[in-house]
Amino acid sequence: MSVVVVTGSSGLIGSEGALFYLRQGYQVVGIDNNMRQYFFGQEGSTLWNQERLKKIGKDKYIHYNLDIRDFVQINKLFKKYENDISLIIHTAAQPSHDWAAKEPLTDFTVNANGTLNLLTAMERNCSQAVFIFISTNKVYGDRPNELPLVELDTRWEIEEKHPYYQGIPEEMNIDQCLHSLFGASKLAADILVQEFGRYFNLKTCCFRGGVLSGPWQAGVPLHGFINYLMKCVMTGTPYTIMGYQGKQVRDVIASCDVISAIDAFYQAPREGGQVYNLGGGRASNISILEAIDLAQEITGKKLNYHYSDKNRRGDHIWYITDLHKFTAHYPQWKITKDVPMIMQEIYEENKNRWPST
């Protein structure tokens, strides 16, 4: 039986991927030790999602409470399934650039060393598999902030005539800029994934994500912007806008569209070490102020928020993804959900789980 290994299987993208391949008839091996609770407290716990996955997957889903920093255990697991493994989806990470500054060693060992462990275990035990790494647009550091941005009423923008109007391409320079420690650790992992693909001739791929969103995310103040904002509006939790007048722009991609991109590559992998920017692009982007208005419209409730002049160090003022490389390689793939659809789905799926105060 073909096996799909998913790290961070109780998280947003991990659980979406696990369920997708379970429905395709694969045996899914999930790796998740709920470290998100360590990062973000009880609010960040993904145990509820793990239980949901076990219930749906039944005997097709096998869960391992392993730490990806433990190479001996990771290698033992990969050895157990060896040539049955056809796909590895690596989503496990420390995902917040604010949190990384508190514990740089933890951040780096999870994001970089953990990725190295998985790649090494793959190369030793199942080199025929496809390896997908969920990277981040933070690998570009704050370089996008050097673009000639224009301040509008509700957002920052870039002029239509600018070559980056359609978004940030993979060719953007990553050097001599501020990445945040999180961005640096993810970049180290990103380069490792590329190098294992090229050096060992493995089918590896990096997806440099923008805001990945959906109803099954444990959104917290430091990670999961759209999900957390919706939760705050729905529950009456105070929300803080961090700098840039709340006009900073993010593109947002639904978790299901991320998985369909992963599957497109898996079904027709290209040479190892591929890198693709993956986000909502021009079809699905929003500013903080615009997202607040939309969340209030969807829920019929007012958000209790205040503004802080202190923006996050290394944060992007404007980031929209250029999808042209991926859509050129996989023209059958497309964005199926935009921001309003994503936020509406978060509301519908969680209105009974997030009671109002």
CATH of the domain at 182: 3.40.50.720
Looking at every residue in the chain, the average pLDDT score rounds to 95
Residue 356 lies in a domain: no
- Residue 357 predicted with pLDDT over 70: no
Domain range holding 229?
3-350
131, amino acid identity? F
Mean pLDDT lowest among 39-43, 298-302, 317-321: 39-43
Residue 9 to residue 28: CA distance in whole angstroms: 10
- Going from the C-alpha of 161 to that of each of 93, 153, 155, 164, 323, the distances in angstroms are 37, 20, 18, 8, 18
**Would you call 239 exposed, middle or buried from its count of C-beta atoms within 10 A (0-12, 13-18, 19+)?**
middle
User: pTM value?
Assistant: 0.96
- Please report whether residue 355 resides in a domain: no
Give all strands (DSSP E) within the chain, no chain letters. 3-7, 27-31, 61-64, 85-90, 130-136, 149-151, 156-158, 203-209, 211-213, 239-242, 249-254, 274-278, 285-287, 305-308, 318-319
Residue located via tokens 């050096």: 199
How far is the CA of 164 from the CAs of 174, 178, 318, in angstroms? Answer: 16, 20, 11
Checking if the pLDDT of 355 tops 90, the result is: no
Domains identified in the chain, total number = 1
326 in a domain, yes or no? yes
Who contacts 332 (Cβ-Cβ below 8 Å, separation ≥6)?
Answer: 264
Band the pLDDT of 353: cuts 50, 70, 90. Answer: confident
C-alpha–C-alpha distance, residues 260 and 255, integer Å:
9
Q: State which H helix or E strand residue 290 sits in.
A: helix 288-299
Share of the chain above pLDDT 70, in %: 99
The answer to whether position 75 is within a domain reads yes
Burial 9-34 (b: 16+ CB within 10 A, else e): bbbbbbbbbbbbbbeeebbbbbbbbb
pLDDT of 66-102, one tens digit each? Answer: 999 999 999 999 999 998 999 999 999 999 988 999 9
CA 110-229-144 angle, 5° bins: 60
Is 295 part of any domain?
Answer: yes
In a domain? residue 252: yes
Could you tell me the pLDDT band of residue 221, with boundaries at 50, 70 and 90? confident
> Would you state the pLDDT for residue 175?
96
Helix-helix angle 339-350:225-235, to 10 degrees: 50
